[in-house]
Amino acid sequence: MNQTLNGEMATTQAGRRGALKVMASVAAASVVPSIALAQGAGKFNLKIAITLPESHPTPVALKAACAEILKESNGRLNIEVYPSGQLGSDTDTLSQVRSGAIDFVCTAGSIYGNLTPTAAINSIAFAFPDYATVWKAMDGDLGNHIRGAFDKVNLVQVGHVFDHGFRQITHSTKPINSPKDLAGMKIRVPATPLWTSMFKGLDASPATVPIGELYTALQTKVVDGQENALPTIDAVKLYEVQKYCSLTSHMWEYFALVGNKKNWNALPEDLRALATKIIDANVSKQRNVHDVLNASLETKLKGQGMQFNRVDTKPFREALQKAGYFAEWQKKFGPETWTILEKYAGKMA
């Protein structure tokens, strides 16, 4: 498009380059483990860890942003992007960012939610009906609320969030049309409680498999299916091991660039302002690319042999309501966060 490509990828097969091209490459430069070591020369070398393959729209946008930052700062700020889990899993790299060993990680809200639960509020099942609602929320009060949650754990979100897409369910032998089609299904999910509780509420059998091992797990029938956004399904070539794609749009996920607050604040103010401005410009480009991909990938994946069906989501939401899913998460997130979500999503529980 570790744990979600939706944040995850300790290792992965080479991504497709197809319609995507790397918008720019970062000039070669040595990267030091700590920003402090570079300050003497008035130049700063930083690292971004991301588990997505380099052909996915998000690493493409990050690399383009970093190349522009290097140019516009006259070489003062060099940020190197390490895609495909080169620096470790999402959980590992998030831990390294907290310690300052890595400057930034770019991963999914569901991963950040393991550290600061508020960051995963966007992943409540069926919260957002469309992208118009998503961006009102994430560029508005809900996004600001999530940003504040990072501050409380000594991290800093830089720029707005990248689009990681609405997630769809794939299966090797049958389409998913109703909740009963999920009963007993061995479905791979990210290693986060929001996902496992959702699919347990729908009587499926969720299993956590690192994204780098997902292709093999599907190929060997360790799991029957999985759920991810279409750009991820394409990037990891899941069409080779999955026949049916059911357009459930059951969750929407973001990726955010989050840094070590001390390392970020060690940069001169002008460099921080420049980097934020350029990253935001490339966030907008990434959202547009993701939108174009979503519009074209169904046709492309059909050409690869996948069969698509559209799903009435109302029975799924009713099943989750009956299972107590929404009431459980309302209690866990607390009234303040839940109220902000419902400002955009409408009454959920």
pLDDT tens digits, one per residue of 278-319 = 999 999 999 999 999 888 999 999 999 999 999 999 999 999
Q: How many domains does the chain have?
A: 2
Exposed/middle/buried for 103, CB within 10 Å: 0-12, 13-18, 19+? buried
For residue 294, the model assigns a pLDDT of 87
CATH number at 197 reads: 3.40.190.170
pLDDT band (50, 70, 90) for residue 41? low
Residue with tokens 């935001």: 280
335 and 190 within one domain: yes
For residue 45, what are the domain limits? Answer: 35-165+254-295
Q: What is the mean pLDDT of residues 157-185?
A: 97
Q: Which tokens hold the place of 127?
A: 């919260």
117 and 262 within one domain: yes
Q: What is the mean pLDDT of residues 44-50?
A: 98
Asked if residue 325 lies in contact with residue 125, where contact means CB atoms within 8 angstroms, the answer is yes
199 or 22: which leads in pLDDT? 199
For residue 190, the model assigns a pLDDT of 85
pLDDT of 342 above 50 = yes
CA geometry: angle at 107 spanning 264 and 132, to 5°?
Answer: 105
208 or 41: which leads in pLDDT? 208
Q: What is the mean pLDDT of residues 181-206?
A: 95
Q: What is the dihedral of CA 186, 190, 192, 193, to 10 degrees?
A: -30
pLDDT of 185 above 50 = yes
With a pLDDT cut of 70, the percent of the chain lying above it is: 88
309 and 229 within one domain: yes
Q: Whole-number mean pLDDT of the chain?
A: 89
Distance, CA of 248 to CA of 323 (rounded, Å):
19
Task: Please tell me what DSSP assigns to residue 15.
Answer: P
- Please name the amino acid found at residue 98: R
Q: What is the mean pLDDT of residues 251-262?
A: 98
261 and 311 within one domain: no
pLDDT in tens, 107-127: 999 999 999 999 999 999 999
219 and 158 within one domain: no
Task: Please tell me what DSSP assigns to residue 161.
Answer: P
311 and 281 within one domain: no
Q: Is 119 within the bounds of a domain?
A: yes
pLDDT of 11 above 50 = no
